[in-house]
Structure 1
């Protein structure tokens, strides 16, 4: 059969056999075939066993374009016009309303049987094709979800590994003197000494000059350990813009992602809500899985009876690095135990995060909560009612309350004089005089 315009004289002889031809097309290579008169009215419908729904047989006597949805009627007109002018058409996709459920997509091509003869429109049901396409899309979406889950897991492992293994230091932005350093930095650098190796000095100078984070890969000494080094500038609170500080992070180019055995590692957002944690941290919280602590405040997840953990979170946001030992955590009196905490700011894109490591330690008698000491002292003072006059009892009670407030502040500030004075609303000199008068020793 020619693919160009048909010869009406040749095909007109078949016009009387149109219904039989429609059935033949359906049985051989299509799902539905329509016999349509020159006025566009459907005169006969042949449907394969697995073809469109039964309503298709009710189309007889109706205009073909009335059997399709409004948005595809123009395609029926194009099919009729093309068949009238060329005798054969290319395929066009239209939708038939099903009456119940989604529309039925059909791809039609039409053949004219003679100049004045009927049309045979042969259609292919596209629902099976659509189902295959939908399964392909769903499979693709599932692959994408698995990919992003893998990326998120890799990001989680990378951040936890950095918190567990990074050497972290805070340097003065002007003198480059070390203000604070975690134990890993002490082991790796032994304190940052002048003169600095050229790559490190250039990195710090660039971060200081541009006020933007900078990174470099270098070696410690000749043939020493290869490290990845980053420096992030920030402003410490103070007058004006505050003093410039550099938060320096370093790790070996290949490092152990697990960290010390049994060490809890957690990453929180800037407000202290848990973003991710390792199994050791989940065990410290007495939970079964990480999902149970995610989105909780760190202090709520661990328990913070002395509020030292909350004070440490304030310090790390201000100073970039904060450490404390003998921090009490736990929710019930019989479950309180001590941990050594090291917290540092993390730069993860635009989101400010805080990474913490926690290692369980024994609480000493000196770590007893100040509130317990005050209660015991007041009980002893009350027992002396009748032995001492009221003014003297009141004076001793006032001294106990003052001692309790100062010891509480020193306890929360890990014996750091300036931080404790700030908690009490005093200046450093005034607090030092009170400590001396009360005979409270400051641990260095």
Structure 2
């Protein structure tokens, strides 16, 4: 709608008054000649003025040169419309500022006077663009939130459907079932499977309903409740019922889990299966495992032990004393059995294991006593630890490791054997101490011990101490 009487209402306006009106009507205004060349520029706000900078650089240049490439065709259309005496449609143009930036402006060109000049009125689009960007960011944030909710719901559905335990979701207000997972068929079967909308308490017998009601009341009040046992209505079978409370929007729900109570026969079958699995695991274990009687004779052994002792079948080991292959006969096994009887389980006892054809390995033994009726039997887990130690340590495993081990042999081994073992232990410890004090200087260690160097080398070989190949000549 235009002014009906502009000459009468506005009167005779001079150029200054018109300029003021144009500046007030637009954020930025361009005065163009008939060819579209910029004659003058006006900015209504300080922010636009700072963005445009020295706008006088636009004067004398075609309007199409001070806009971005995608806006050139729009300026030509607007100039043609203004030349025809028709106000052009508002078009979005991107002005190129003298500093090289871009300024989004909504322009409309109007022809003024009879000299073929036009005035392009511009409105700053940056506030609108900022608002649009905020709207886009808000929409993107909502989409991300919706996606997270969808993923969370998908995970919940997957867990709910794949759960091995029967689970039901019950509306806390109405007491009716809202959701049921497929595992409930294991208890109820396909014919009595709970349905959505069914009353939850109807699943239980009269005796069981009271217990379940008390459970749900406690969960509603305290947020948790102890598991209760109830009988089902259709076959009087006992189930354990547990429940937890959660909220979704403004509605409260119970998450109820049902667990069938195993009968005596089912429990026995389950235990038997577990024992069978345990035996299979021990039989295929990578470490040796041996069960002996109270006299130390082998009752059973797994394949790893047979491989370490170079035996072909378990029959070759059954009935034989374990110390036939373990450590020194009459020493290591006696120490193990004594500790088992007096102190309980033994862990990481170092020893050696000999094969039938001369193979020998460093081992660690863990042992435990087991009661078979009134007669105890002993289980030995034997692990090959040879790769952990240097080859020079191999000979040291032929003797007891400590004075405590020697004291435990008293009464089980003849005194002369104990004296010989004690002498070997003390001699080895003295040589080790001398080598440590002399920083592995063999000549100084021999002098400290009152031995010749040759005698020291003999004892070093005997106890497997030091690197004789590299250190025999050290002084």
TM-score for both structures, normalised by structure 1: 0.41
Larger radius of gyration: 2
Q: Which has the higher contact order (CA 8 A, sep 6+)?
A: 1
